[in-house]
Amino acid sequence: MKLPIKVDLTGKVAVVTGAGGVICSVMAEALAACGAKVALLDLNMEAAQKNADAIVAEGFVAKGYKCNVLEKESIEEARDAIAADFGTCDILVNGAGGNNPKATTDDEYFRPEDLGNMKTFFDLDPDGVSFVFGLNYMGTLLPTQVFAKDMVNKEGANIINIASMNAYTPLTKIPAYSGAKAAIVNFTEWLAVHFSKVGVRCNAIAPGFLATAQNHALLFNEDGTPTARTGKILAGTPMDRFGEPQELVGALLFLASSEASGFVNGVCIPVDGAFAAYSGV
């Protein structure tokens, strides 16, 4: 990996949740390339270890751990295993999250004639909504409860949450995911204040539109052509393209470095190709 900036994280232990996925595996790789010992956590142990093995093959230190971010006991087991392997956590990246079709409407705008013909707001599965909100919000809160205990009064300790541009401009069809990511921004600010007296900084990154496996079906048809939703996204993104996971690395390393961002606390950095700045006219 070619790093956009090089920061020294030698001796630091970085914990990345959701590291079986593309975005968080790239973040894990960047932290390792800066000298950190990186623990890749994911419910899919095979994916986490595969990504960890790729990092080790580059000459860095990493290991995969199975972890369910919605079960505190599972997180505690991962914490104990990481402490035995690498030491206690210095940098926590809360990257686990995602959406679910059960919490997604079929319509962008409600029309009475749609009732009974498609999944409207009134048809959303309460369990699906709870799952999406829980995965994103509780899946950030619970790992923070577990790992932040070891970070108190530790030099250079910081938490980096992964929010979304949904937090500021909710997208159509995905009310649970948008609401949960808005909660993550608020929670980030709350944590920054709460831990301000014990040396733990907390910030967030809000990615714009990235084309990943998770949203591929929304963005591209089976034949690879862009969907109508992709057209809308690009029309609202002044840079006329999707972002790449590697383009989040600069913000990540800036926030991870006490030398670069030691007085930055409680902020959420958009990485969105000017999506949020564009009014549409």
218-256 tens-digit pLDDT: 788 888 888 888 888 899 999 999 999 999 999 999 999
pTM: predicted TM-score of the whole model, two decimal places: 0.94
Q: How many C-alpha atoms does 85 have within 13 Å on its Cβ side?
A: 19
With a cut of 90, say whether residue 167 has pLDDT above it: yes
**Could you give the CA distance from residue 276 to residue 108 in angstroms, rounded to a whole number?**
19
**Strand bridging mode 37-42 / 201-207:** unpaired
With a cut of 80, say whether residue 217 has pLDDT above it: no
Helices 22-33 & 249-256 angle (0-180, nearest 10): 50
How many angstroms separate the first and last alpha carbons of the chain?
38
Mean pLDDT score of the chain: 95
DSSP codes of every residue in 148-215: HTTTTT-TT-EEEEE--GGGTSPPTT-HHHHHHHHHHHHHHHHHHHHTTTTT-EEEEEEE--B--TTT
Q: Name the residue with tokens 């995969």.
A: 64
Using alpha carbons, list the distances in angstroms from residue 92 to 15, 38, 140, 149, 182: 5, 10, 10, 12, 20
Counting runs of H as helices and runs of E as strands, what totals does the chain give? 10, 7
**Could you give the CA distance from residue 181 to residue 183 in angstroms, rounded to a whole number?**
5
- Which residue in 65, 109, 168, 177 is the catalytic one? 177
**Band of pLDDT at residue 157, cut at 50, 70 and 90:** very high
Residue 33 backbone dihedrals phi, psi, to 5 degrees: -65, -20
Using alpha carbons, list the distances in angstroms from residue 27 to 32, 199, 216: 9, 23, 20
Q: Which domains does the chain have, with CATH numbers?
A: 13-100+128-208+243-271 (3.40.50.720)
Q: Give the H/E segment covering residue 147.
A: helix 139-148
With a cut of 90, say whether residue 138 has pLDDT above it: yes
**Band of pLDDT at residue 213, cut at 50, 70 and 90:** low
109 is catalytic: no
CA 51 to chain centre: 16
Pull the structure tokens for residue 199.
């040396």
User: Which of 34-38, 208-212, 250-254 bottoms out in mean pLDDT, i.e. has the lowest?
Assistant: 208-212
Q: State what percent of residues in the chain have pLDDT above 90.
A: 87
Cβ 52 vs Cβ 66: under 8 Å? no
For residue 50, the SS3 value is helix
**Could you give the CA distance from residue 207 to residue 35 in angstroms, rounded to a whole number?**
24
At residue 214, the pLDDT reads 66
**Could you give the CA distance from residue 64 to residue 43 in angstroms, rounded to a whole number?**
10
